[in-house]
Amino acid sequence: MGSQIELGDIMLTFIEPHREGLAEYNRWYEHDHAYAAVSNAPGCFAYRRFVATAALKTLRYPADSAVVQPVEKGSFISLFWFEKDRVADVFDYSFGITPALIEAGRMNGDRDHVSTAIYKYLGGTGRGADPVPPEIALDHPYPGLAVLWVRPAEGVSVEELGEWCRQNLDGDVAAGKGGIGQVIDFEQRDFPNGMAPLTGRLRELVRCYFLDADPRELWSEELEGIGKAVEAGGKGRVELAVPFIPTVPGTKRYLDELW
């Protein structure tokens, strides 16, 4: 068997759109920006966007989140997958094209960044004996996503925290039980060329839970207790747990359900 695409790094951008001009912002982001500024870049091989409706926002925890206040802020999240060792290529393109996009009037500032940064791939747990590969997670039609920001305890590295989570929290996933399709772990890293993360650097683990059902069907039994399990293990604290469902590109679906 020959070589294959390998997931190396990702960009995660979690934003709150401004209410005024929402429809135009949504059209701009999904019809132009996500492609022109990022996914057209050499080395970017997958992209998907998810939404948190008002009903889904009620499931978030903890209320005293260090990631965002108020905890209901943040309606869209986009994930971009980059090939291993290609993150610099992606941002050479992105930084290079941005001035032309600004000059052409193809930028839109009608949003606030809750958490926008680059993360390196640490590992993951797939469902059962023949799991969907992490490289294909954004193309697989998962009907739900949960993203957890986990802060390590004092003296615990992000890599150690991720390994502990995979060994102690993912047993049912590995056994093919429950409704979680796969979990993928990431650690925030520096942008190339010295650019700072748009929302500040946190020493954190980000866990992306790709779900085989709507998050509301799984939250109470499979996801709500993760925060308590992490704290009980003494390795860290879940600073934010957020459920999402996929957007429906090319439509205004869910725009009237954000608040």
Q: What is the mean pLDDT of residues 2-30?
A: 93
Res. 3: pLDDT tops 80: no
With left for phi above 0 and alpha for psi between -120 and 50, is residue 254 left, alpha or beta? Answer: left
Res. 1: pLDDT tops 60: no
Q: What is the pLDDT of residues 230-248, one digit of tens each?
A: 999 999 999 999 999 999 9
Q: What is the pLDDT of residues 84-125, one digit of tens each?
A: 999 999 999 998 998 999 999 999 989 999 999 999 999 999
Per-residue model confidence (pLDDT) at position 7:
98
Q: What is the mean pLDDT of residues 56-60?
A: 98
In this prediction the pTM is 0.95
